[in-house]
Amino acid sequence: MRVHNFNAGPAALPLPVLETVRHELIELPDLGMSVMEMSHRSQPFDAILERAESGIRRLLGLADDFAVLFLGGGASLQFSMAPMNLLQNGARGDYLVNGSWGVKALAEAQKEGAAREAANTKSAAFRRVPTREETSLDAGAKYVHFTSNETIEGVQWPREPQTGGVPLICDASSDILSRPLDIQKYGLIYAGAQKNIGPSGATVVIVKKEWTAPNPKLATMLSYATHAKERSLYNTPNTFAIYMIGLVCEWIESLGGLEGMQTRAAQKSNLIYDAIDRSDFYQGFADKDSRSQMNVTFRLPSEELEAQFAQEAENAGLIGLKGHRSVGGLRASIYNAVEPESVRVLVELMREFERVNG
Protein backbone atom coordinates (compact mmCIF):
# COMPACT_ATOMS: atom_id res chain seq x y z
CA MET A 1 0.00 0.00 0.00
CA ARG A 2 1.31 3.47 -0.84
CA VAL A 3 1.73 5.72 2.20
CA HIS A 4 0.81 9.36 2.66
CA ASN A 5 4.21 10.74 1.73
CA PHE A 6 5.32 14.03 3.35
CA ASN A 7 9.04 13.54 2.69
CA ALA A 8 11.06 16.70 2.08
CA GLY A 9 13.05 15.28 -0.82
CA PRO A 10 13.36 12.92 -2.49
CA ALA A 11 9.62 13.13 -2.19
CA ALA A 12 6.30 11.91 -3.51
CA LEU A 13 6.00 11.54 -7.28
CA PRO A 14 2.73 11.58 -9.22
CA LEU A 15 1.23 8.09 -9.24
CA PRO A 16 0.19 8.28 -12.93
CA VAL A 17 3.83 9.07 -13.79
CA LEU A 18 5.10 6.14 -11.74
CA GLU A 19 2.60 3.88 -13.47
CA THR A 20 3.82 5.00 -16.89
CA VAL A 21 7.40 4.42 -15.78
CA ARG A 22 6.55 0.94 -14.52
CA HIS A 23 4.83 0.15 -17.79
CA GLU A 24 7.76 1.42 -19.86
CA LEU A 25 10.62 0.34 -17.63
CA ILE A 26 11.57 -2.78 -19.49
CA GLU A 27 10.64 -1.67 -22.99
CA LEU A 28 9.88 1.79 -24.21
CA PRO A 29 7.23 1.61 -26.96
CA ASP A 30 8.83 0.37 -30.20
CA LEU A 31 12.36 0.69 -28.80
CA GLY A 32 12.84 -2.69 -27.16
CA MET A 33 14.81 -1.37 -24.20
CA SER A 34 14.60 0.73 -21.09
CA VAL A 35 15.54 4.41 -21.16
CA MET A 36 18.47 3.45 -18.92
CA GLU A 37 19.88 1.15 -21.60
CA MET A 38 19.97 3.51 -24.53
CA SER A 39 22.71 5.78 -25.76
CA HIS A 40 22.36 9.38 -24.68
CA ARG A 41 23.43 10.25 -28.21
CA SER A 42 20.73 8.21 -29.93
CA GLN A 43 17.78 9.69 -31.79
CA PRO A 44 15.20 8.22 -29.36
CA PHE A 45 16.96 9.75 -26.38
CA ASP A 46 17.14 13.03 -28.20
CA ALA A 47 13.35 12.95 -28.38
CA ILE A 48 13.17 12.21 -24.63
CA LEU A 49 15.47 15.12 -23.85
CA GLU A 50 13.45 17.36 -26.12
CA ARG A 51 10.24 16.27 -24.36
CA ALA A 52 11.64 17.26 -20.95
CA GLU A 53 13.06 20.54 -22.18
CA SER A 54 9.94 21.57 -24.05
CA GLY A 55 7.77 20.60 -21.08
CA ILE A 56 9.68 23.02 -18.85
CA ARG A 57 9.64 25.67 -21.57
CA ARG A 58 5.88 25.45 -22.06
CA LEU A 59 5.11 25.49 -18.33
CA LEU A 60 7.31 28.49 -17.55
CA GLY A 61 6.69 30.27 -20.85
CA LEU A 62 10.40 30.39 -21.71
CA ALA A 63 11.40 32.05 -24.95
CA ASP A 64 14.51 31.26 -26.93
CA ASP A 65 16.66 33.61 -24.87
CA PHE A 66 16.81 30.97 -22.11
CA ALA A 67 18.72 27.68 -22.15
CA VAL A 68 17.32 24.72 -20.17
CA LEU A 69 20.06 22.43 -18.84
CA PHE A 70 20.01 19.12 -16.97
CA LEU A 71 23.17 18.86 -14.88
CA GLY A 72 24.67 16.79 -12.09
CA GLY A 73 25.84 17.86 -8.65
CA GLY A 74 22.50 18.88 -7.19
CA ALA A 75 21.43 22.38 -6.31
CA SER A 76 24.50 22.41 -4.06
CA LEU A 77 26.84 22.57 -7.05
CA GLN A 78 24.91 25.57 -8.37
CA PHE A 79 25.82 27.44 -5.17
CA SER A 80 29.35 27.44 -6.65
CA MET A 81 28.73 27.23 -10.38
CA ALA A 82 26.56 30.34 -10.57
CA PRO A 83 29.13 32.69 -8.97
CA MET A 84 31.99 30.92 -10.75
CA ASN A 85 30.40 31.69 -14.10
CA LEU A 86 28.98 35.11 -13.32
CA LEU A 87 31.24 36.87 -10.83
CA GLN A 88 34.03 37.34 -13.35
CA ASN A 89 36.06 40.51 -13.95
CA GLY A 90 35.01 42.24 -10.76
CA ALA A 91 31.28 41.56 -11.13
CA ARG A 92 29.36 41.61 -7.82
CA GLY A 93 26.48 39.49 -6.57
CA ASP A 94 23.92 40.36 -3.85
CA TYR A 95 22.43 37.64 -1.64
CA LEU A 96 19.13 37.73 0.23
CA VAL A 97 19.46 35.27 3.08
CA ASN A 98 16.38 34.05 4.92
CA GLY A 99 17.10 30.44 5.76
CA SER A 100 19.53 27.55 5.91
CA TRP A 101 19.99 27.09 2.14
CA GLY A 102 20.55 30.77 1.51
CA VAL A 103 23.30 30.73 4.14
CA LYS A 104 25.03 27.96 2.22
CA ALA A 105 24.57 29.62 -1.16
CA LEU A 106 26.22 32.81 0.12
CA ALA A 107 29.10 30.99 1.83
CA GLU A 108 29.96 29.10 -1.36
CA ALA A 109 29.63 32.22 -3.51
CA GLN A 110 32.06 34.10 -1.28
CA LYS A 111 34.71 31.51 -2.13
CA GLU A 112 34.28 32.39 -5.80
CA GLY A 113 33.94 36.14 -6.01
CA ALA A 114 32.45 39.38 -4.74
CA ALA A 115 29.30 37.98 -3.15
CA ARG A 116 27.70 40.20 -0.53
CA GLU A 117 24.91 39.77 1.97
CA ALA A 118 22.21 42.28 1.06
CA ALA A 119 19.74 41.10 3.72
CA ASN A 120 19.65 38.46 6.44
CA THR A 121 16.73 37.54 8.68
CA LYS A 122 18.71 35.37 11.09
CA SER A 123 17.87 37.77 13.91
CA ALA A 124 14.21 36.90 13.22
CA ALA A 125 15.15 33.20 13.46
CA PHE A 126 14.59 32.90 9.67
CA ARG A 127 10.84 32.98 10.25
CA ARG A 128 10.28 35.35 7.35
CA VAL A 129 11.70 36.90 4.20
CA PRO A 130 13.40 40.30 4.53
CA THR A 131 11.46 43.53 4.14
CA ARG A 132 12.55 46.11 1.59
CA GLU A 133 13.62 48.40 4.42
CA GLU A 134 16.10 45.90 5.79
CA THR A 135 17.53 45.13 2.35
CA SER A 136 20.45 47.11 0.96
CA LEU A 137 20.90 46.42 -2.72
CA ASP A 138 23.88 47.26 -4.87
CA ALA A 139 22.39 48.86 -8.00
CA GLY A 140 25.49 47.83 -9.97
CA ALA A 141 25.33 44.14 -9.00
CA LYS A 142 25.34 41.50 -11.71
CA TYR A 143 22.53 39.63 -9.93
CA VAL A 144 20.47 39.26 -6.77
CA HIS A 145 20.32 35.70 -5.45
CA PHE A 146 17.39 34.45 -3.38
CA THR A 147 15.93 31.14 -2.25
CA SER A 148 12.29 31.21 -3.29
CA ASN A 149 11.34 28.58 -0.73
CA GLU A 150 13.44 27.72 2.31
CA THR A 151 12.72 24.03 2.67
CA ILE A 152 13.91 23.63 6.26
CA GLU A 153 12.23 26.65 7.84
CA GLY A 154 9.13 26.52 5.61
CA VAL A 155 9.50 30.14 4.52
CA GLN A 156 8.57 31.20 0.99
CA TRP A 157 8.76 34.47 -0.89
CA PRO A 158 5.12 35.37 -1.71
CA ARG A 159 6.39 37.04 -4.89
CA GLU A 160 9.72 37.92 -6.45
CA PRO A 161 11.91 40.35 -4.49
CA GLN A 162 12.13 43.82 -5.99
CA THR A 163 15.60 44.56 -7.32
CA GLY A 164 15.26 47.72 -9.39
CA GLY A 165 15.94 45.79 -12.58
CA VAL A 166 18.94 43.73 -11.43
CA PRO A 167 18.36 40.14 -12.71
CA LEU A 168 17.42 37.48 -10.19
CA ILE A 169 19.14 34.19 -9.56
CA CYS A 170 16.78 31.84 -7.78
CA ASP A 171 17.36 28.62 -5.93
CA ALA A 172 13.91 27.18 -6.63
CA SER A 173 14.71 23.66 -5.50
CA SER A 174 11.63 23.24 -3.36
CA ASP A 175 9.00 25.22 -5.25
CA ILE A 176 9.89 25.01 -8.94
CA LEU A 177 6.84 24.46 -11.14
CA SER A 178 4.46 25.06 -8.23
CA ARG A 179 3.32 28.52 -9.40
CA PRO A 180 3.79 30.89 -12.35
CA LEU A 181 6.90 33.10 -12.33
CA ASP A 182 7.51 36.56 -13.75
CA ILE A 183 10.21 35.07 -15.93
CA GLN A 184 11.54 38.35 -17.32
CA LYS A 185 12.93 39.16 -13.88
CA TYR A 186 15.22 36.16 -13.87
CA GLY A 187 18.67 35.51 -15.24
CA LEU A 188 19.02 32.04 -13.77
CA ILE A 189 16.82 29.52 -11.94
CA TYR A 190 18.14 26.26 -10.57
CA ALA A 191 16.55 23.35 -8.76
CA GLY A 192 17.44 19.83 -7.74
CA ALA A 193 14.78 17.70 -9.39
CA GLN A 194 13.99 15.55 -6.36
CA LYS A 195 11.16 17.56 -4.79
CA ASN A 196 8.79 18.88 -7.40
CA ILE A 197 9.90 17.57 -10.78
CA GLY A 198 11.41 14.12 -10.69
CA PRO A 199 13.89 11.76 -9.06
CA SER A 200 17.17 12.87 -7.48
CA GLY A 201 20.35 13.04 -9.52
CA ALA A 202 19.43 15.77 -11.99
CA THR A 203 19.46 19.52 -11.52
CA VAL A 204 17.43 21.75 -13.79
CA VAL A 205 19.22 24.98 -14.67
CA ILE A 206 17.35 27.63 -16.62
CA VAL A 207 19.75 30.33 -17.68
CA LYS A 208 19.68 33.38 -19.94
CA LYS A 209 21.78 32.54 -22.98
CA GLU A 210 23.68 35.82 -22.63
CA TRP A 211 25.03 34.36 -19.36
CA THR A 212 26.51 31.35 -21.11
CA ALA A 213 29.43 33.00 -22.88
CA PRO A 214 32.53 30.75 -22.94
CA ASN A 215 35.19 31.36 -20.30
CA PRO A 216 38.41 29.46 -21.04
CA LYS A 217 39.60 29.85 -17.44
CA LEU A 218 36.76 27.73 -16.06
CA ALA A 219 36.90 23.95 -15.85
CA THR A 220 34.96 22.64 -18.85
CA MET A 221 32.40 20.79 -16.75
CA LEU A 222 31.77 23.81 -14.52
CA SER A 223 31.03 26.19 -17.36
CA TYR A 224 27.44 26.93 -18.38
CA ALA A 225 28.80 27.55 -21.89
CA THR A 226 29.75 23.88 -22.25
CA HIS A 227 26.36 22.53 -21.29
CA ALA A 228 24.38 25.16 -23.20
CA LYS A 229 26.39 24.50 -26.36
CA GLU A 230 26.12 20.72 -26.05
CA ARG A 231 22.44 20.71 -24.89
CA SER A 232 23.36 18.91 -21.63
CA LEU A 233 25.09 16.15 -23.63
CA TYR A 234 28.72 17.15 -23.17
CA ASN A 235 29.01 14.22 -20.77
CA THR A 236 26.52 11.46 -19.97
CA PRO A 237 23.54 13.04 -18.19
CA ASN A 238 21.07 11.29 -15.88
CA THR A 239 18.96 9.94 -18.70
CA PHE A 240 16.39 8.28 -16.45
CA ALA A 241 15.77 11.48 -14.47
CA ILE A 242 15.39 13.49 -17.68
CA TYR A 243 12.85 10.97 -18.95
CA MET A 244 10.84 11.29 -15.74
CA ILE A 245 11.00 15.09 -15.72
CA GLY A 246 9.34 15.03 -19.16
CA LEU A 247 6.54 12.87 -17.80
CA VAL A 248 6.09 15.01 -14.69
CA CYS A 249 5.80 18.16 -16.83
CA GLU A 250 3.03 16.57 -18.87
CA TRP A 251 1.26 15.49 -15.68
CA ILE A 252 1.40 19.11 -14.45
CA GLU A 253 -0.07 20.30 -17.74
CA SER A 254 -2.88 17.77 -17.42
CA LEU A 255 -3.84 19.43 -14.11
CA GLY A 256 -3.91 22.96 -15.48
CA GLY A 257 -0.23 23.88 -15.61
CA LEU A 258 1.35 26.22 -13.09
CA GLU A 259 -1.92 28.00 -12.30
CA GLY A 260 -3.42 24.61 -11.55
CA MET A 261 -0.49 23.75 -9.28
CA GLN A 262 -0.75 27.10 -7.51
CA THR A 263 -4.45 26.59 -6.74
CA ARG A 264 -3.81 23.03 -5.60
CA ALA A 265 -0.91 24.15 -3.37
CA ALA A 266 -2.97 26.93 -1.79
CA GLN A 267 -5.85 24.56 -1.05
CA LYS A 268 -3.57 21.98 0.53
CA SER A 269 -1.46 24.35 2.59
CA ASN A 270 -4.51 26.34 3.76
CA LEU A 271 -6.03 23.17 5.18
CA ILE A 272 -3.01 22.68 7.44
CA TYR A 273 -2.47 26.36 8.29
CA ASP A 274 -6.16 26.69 9.19
CA ALA A 275 -5.79 23.72 11.54
CA ILE A 276 -2.74 25.38 13.09
CA ASP A 277 -4.45 28.77 13.44
CA ARG A 278 -7.60 27.29 14.97
CA SER A 279 -5.67 25.75 17.85
CA ASP A 280 -3.33 26.85 20.61
CA PHE A 281 -1.80 23.39 20.62
CA TYR A 282 -0.06 23.78 17.24
CA GLN A 283 2.24 26.74 16.58
CA GLY A 284 3.26 27.62 13.03
CA PHE A 285 6.97 28.34 12.66
CA ALA A 286 6.93 30.87 9.81
CA ASP A 287 5.39 34.33 10.04
CA LYS A 288 2.01 34.35 8.29
CA ASP A 289 3.01 36.43 5.28
CA SER A 290 6.08 34.27 4.62
CA ARG A 291 4.42 30.89 5.01
CA SER A 292 5.44 28.24 2.53
CA GLN A 293 2.91 26.50 0.32
CA MET A 294 5.33 23.59 -0.01
CA ASN A 295 6.78 22.92 3.46
CA VAL A 296 4.45 23.56 6.38
CA THR A 297 6.52 23.79 9.58
CA PHE A 298 4.95 23.74 13.03
CA ARG A 299 5.62 22.94 16.65
CA LEU A 300 3.76 21.19 19.44
CA PRO A 301 3.92 22.13 23.13
CA SER A 302 6.92 19.85 23.80
CA GLU A 303 9.56 17.84 21.97
CA GLU A 304 8.12 14.69 23.53
CA LEU A 305 4.72 15.42 21.98
CA GLU A 306 6.41 16.15 18.65
CA ALA A 307 8.17 12.80 18.70
CA GLN A 308 4.95 11.08 19.72
CA PHE A 309 3.04 12.82 16.92
CA ALA A 310 5.60 11.78 14.29
CA GLN A 311 5.49 8.21 15.57
CA GLU A 312 1.70 7.97 15.65
CA ALA A 313 1.57 9.49 12.19
CA GLU A 314 4.01 6.92 10.89
CA ASN A 315 2.01 4.11 12.46
CA ALA A 316 -1.01 5.44 10.58
CA GLY A 317 0.89 5.54 7.26
CA LEU A 318 1.85 9.24 7.21
CA ILE A 319 5.57 9.36 6.50
CA GLY A 320 8.25 12.04 6.73
CA LEU A 321 6.68 14.52 9.16
CA LYS A 322 9.63 14.95 11.48
CA GLY A 323 11.18 18.42 11.04
CA HIS A 324 14.72 18.90 9.81
CA ARG A 325 17.26 18.00 12.49
CA SER A 326 18.60 21.57 12.56
CA VAL A 327 15.28 23.19 13.60
CA GLY A 328 13.22 20.34 15.09
CA GLY A 329 9.43 20.43 15.22
CA LEU A 330 7.31 18.97 12.46
CA ARG A 331 7.27 19.61 8.76
CA ALA A 332 4.73 18.51 6.20
CA SER A 333 6.23 18.73 2.73
CA ILE A 334 3.32 18.95 0.33
CA TYR A 335 4.92 19.28 -3.09
CA ASN A 336 2.93 19.15 -6.34
CA ALA A 337 2.53 15.38 -6.29
CA VAL A 338 1.14 15.11 -2.75
CA GLU A 339 -2.58 14.48 -3.12
CA PRO A 340 -5.14 16.69 -1.31
CA GLU A 341 -6.46 13.49 0.24
CA SER A 342 -3.13 12.95 2.07
CA VAL A 343 -3.42 16.44 3.51
CA ARG A 344 -6.98 15.78 4.68
CA VAL A 345 -5.78 12.64 6.45
CA LEU A 346 -3.02 14.65 8.13
CA VAL A 347 -5.41 17.37 9.30
CA GLU A 348 -7.73 14.71 10.70
CA LEU A 349 -4.81 13.20 12.62
CA MET A 350 -3.86 16.65 13.95
CA ARG A 351 -7.40 17.14 15.28
CA GLU A 352 -7.53 13.73 16.89
CA PHE A 353 -4.03 14.08 18.40
CA GLU A 354 -4.95 17.41 19.95
CA ARG A 355 -8.22 15.99 21.32
CA VAL A 356 -6.34 13.20 23.10
CA ASN A 357 -3.18 15.07 24.13
CA GLY A 358 -4.17 18.74 24.17
171 near ligand PMP, judged by CB under 6 A: yes
Assess 153 for contact with ligand PMP (CB under 6 A).
no
Among 5, 174, 238, 293, binds ligand PMP (CB under 6 A): 174
What is the C-alpha separation between 134 and 119, in angstroms, rounded? 6
Task: Give the binding range for ligand PMP (CB under 6 A) out of 69-77, 230-238, 263-271, 309-317.
Answer: 69-77
Among 54, 76, 88, 283, binds ligand PMP (CB under 6 A): 76
* Site for ligand PMP contains 98 (CB under 6 A): no
83 binds ligand PMP (CB under 6 A): no
Check residue 178 and report its DSSP letter.
Answer: S
Inter-residue contact 347 to 275 (CB < 8 Å): yes
Among 14, 74, 113, 167, binds ligand PMP (CB under 6 A): 74
Cβ-based nearer residue to ligand PMP, 175 or 306: 175
Radius of gyration over every alpha carbon of the chain, rounded to an integer in angstroms: 21
Instruction: Indicate the Cα dihedral angle 85, 249, 247, 31, nearest 10°.
Output: -70
The SS3 of residue 16 is helix
Distance CA 214, CA 218 (A): 9
Is 9 near ligand PMP (CB under 6 A)?
yes
The answer to whether residue 113 forms part of the interface with ligand PMP (CB under 6 A) is no
CB of 74 to ligand PMP, least distance (A): 2
Q: Is the Cβ of residue 196 or residue 342 nearer to ligand PMP in the bound state?
A: 196
Binding mask of the shown chain, residues 186 to 225, with x at each position contacting ligand PMP by CB under 6 A: ------x---------------------------------
Q: Which residues are catalytic?
A: 101, 171, 195
Question: Is the separation of the CB atoms in 209 and 66 below 8 Å?
Answer: yes
Burial 48-70 (b: 16+ CB within 10 A, else e): bbebbbebbbebbebeeebbbbb
Q: How far apart are CA 177 and CA 293, in angstroms?
A: 12
At what angle are helices 43-60 and 239-254 packed, to 10 degrees?
A: 40
- Closest approach of ligand PMP to the CB of residue 75, in Å: 3
Q: Which residues make up the interface to ligand PMP (CB under 6 A)?
A: 9, 74-76, 101, 147, 151, 171, 173-174, 192
